[in-house]
Amino acid sequence: MRTARLRSPTEPRRPVAVADERATRLIVLAAPVVLVTYAGFAIVGHHLETFLATALQLGGVSLLTVAVVRGGAGRRIPWILLVAAHALVGVSSVNYAGRFVRGTYDPALSTLCSVLAALLVLGAVVAWSRRAGSLRDRAARDRFASIDVAIIVVVSAFLSWAFVVAPVLHRPDVIGPAKVIVLTFSIADLITIGLTVRILFATRATPALRLFLTYLLLWSSADGLVVADLTGNGAWMAEAGGPIRILALFALVGAAYHPSMTAVVAPGRTAVRVTSAGRLVLLGLATAVTPVVLLIQHFQRGPEHVPAAAVACLLVSALVMARMARLVAEQRGLAITDGLTGLHTRRFFDEALSSGTAQNLRTTDDIGLLLVDLDHFKSVNDTHGHPAGDQVLREVARRLRDSTRSGDVVARYGGEEFAILLPRTGRPELVSIAERIRAAIDRDPVRLPNGRPLRVTVSIGLAAASEGLASSDELTSAADRRLYAAKAGGRNQVSADFNIL
């Protein structure tokens, strides 16, 4: 008799069959049909489009609730917040539809629902961006994300100020509560945009992610249109918020029912591309927004927000320069760092050795050099494979770092050969450090990828400038001869015979 397997409390919930690409495809295909129907109802009149929008909002909330309850949409807390947000939008729609059914309409209720819905959507984005072990880890790899997000937020803040906030604040007929509402929408949307861009930069692209980002873009646009009446830009803009919210809802429901939604904020499986074409195009367009807006305002002879534009341009310029400086430092780091072991490259080591020997000629400080070579490393690759060889190199590099001092320079000198430069180190201390390194590598076996332990040993040759070795070539040649003497003497030893030159 078959018995049901109990799920461990730590085992992740498995998405159920509600997550289906076919459902997402049908929802996305239905969106233009519904939009055309909405436009047709608006032309016919009798406020049929209002009742259609109300029905769609309530139906969308029901579909989202099903996806969340059955676990197909992924992490629950953000989705619960989104369901609550669109439930409030549904309440606002029902309230507005009551104007044509009962002849009653409470504008304060609809405004309150809109503000709370915006805050709940913001909370959902914050909950996703703070997921432990996901964006935080990837942001550590993508050190440019904060700068790029700041550029987008600064430009968005200028647009919000120029077209939403400033027009409202300068209208004498707009009372205090309305101004607070505008500021609330603007701040919430700016934070949402910033976190959305960060999710975009930190998450691998999936169909669900594209739908979700489309939803957030449409949602933020609809929020801007909510305050259109207050800005005096025309009632048609406020009316356009209805179909935009409908499209946003279709995108959100489509994302909820797509199987890839569970991976939207899952730990990244691919490397972050900080110089991808799409990302650079987005940043390029963002940096051009402020001057373009000023030009448009100038030729239209409208109010020119010169102080705000100047501040925005200064901030964006500073951020771009910071990004360039960080990119240069990143490229420099890649050029001097060995990709496998994380140690310095031979090129960096040679420069440090030349600089050290030149300084030694000007001062009385001694300088030491160790050449470390793995014993029988070729047999490791031949017997256990190259992944095992790579693991051995990484572990030996780690032990070398742990066994040396903070001012020492440790580098991968060749395939299985390492070099260590020790400033202000005389011959007795040099021998002691070399022996400590040899013992640290020989003490514990290296655990291979298949779990098998493998004993690893090294041979070490050393040289000191106090032997009368004035140049980097002389130091390297002496250490290399002593390294071969250590191998000839049986390996797993330090050659400290200073008579070998």
Least confident of 128-142, 326-340, 372-386, 419-433: 128-142
pLDDT at residue 1 in the model: 42
- Contacting residues for 127 by C-beta, under 8 A, at least 6 apart: 75, 77, 78, 81
Pick 383 or 227 by higher pLDDT. Answer: 383
Mean pLDDT in residue range 19-24: 68
Contact 120, 85 (CB under 8 A): yes
Residue 314 has pLDDT above 80, yes or no: yes
Residue 188 has pLDDT above 60, yes or no: yes
Among 3.40.50.150, 3.30.70.270, 1.20.1250.20, 3.10.330.10, name the CATH number for the domain at 346-495. Answer: 3.30.70.270
Domain boundaries, the chain: 21-265+274-283, 346-495
- pLDDT confidence of 198, banded at 50, 70, 90? confident
pLDDT at residue 412 in the model: 94
Enter the pTM of the model. Answer: 0.62
Residues 412-468 pLDDT 10s: 998 899 999 999 888 889 999 999 999 999 999 999 998 899 999 999 999 998 888
- Inter-CA distances, 429 with 110, 426, 496, Å: 78, 6, 11
Residues 273-294 pLDDT 10s: 556 677 778 788 888 888 888 8
- Contacting residues for 228 by C-beta, under 8 A, at least 6 apart: 234, 235, 237, 238, 241
Residues 154-176 pLDDT 10s: 888 888 788 777 777 777 766 66
Query: Could you tell me the sign of the dihedral formed by the alpha carbons of 473, 476, 481, 482, in that order?
Result: positive
Residues 204-238 pLDDT 10s: 667 888 888 888 888 887 777 766 555 555 455 55
Mean pLDDT of the chain: 80
Contact 257, 207 (CB under 8 A): no
Q: Position of tokens 């591309």?
A: 273
Residues 84-121 pLDDT 10s: 998 998 888 888 888 777 778 887 888 788 888 888 88
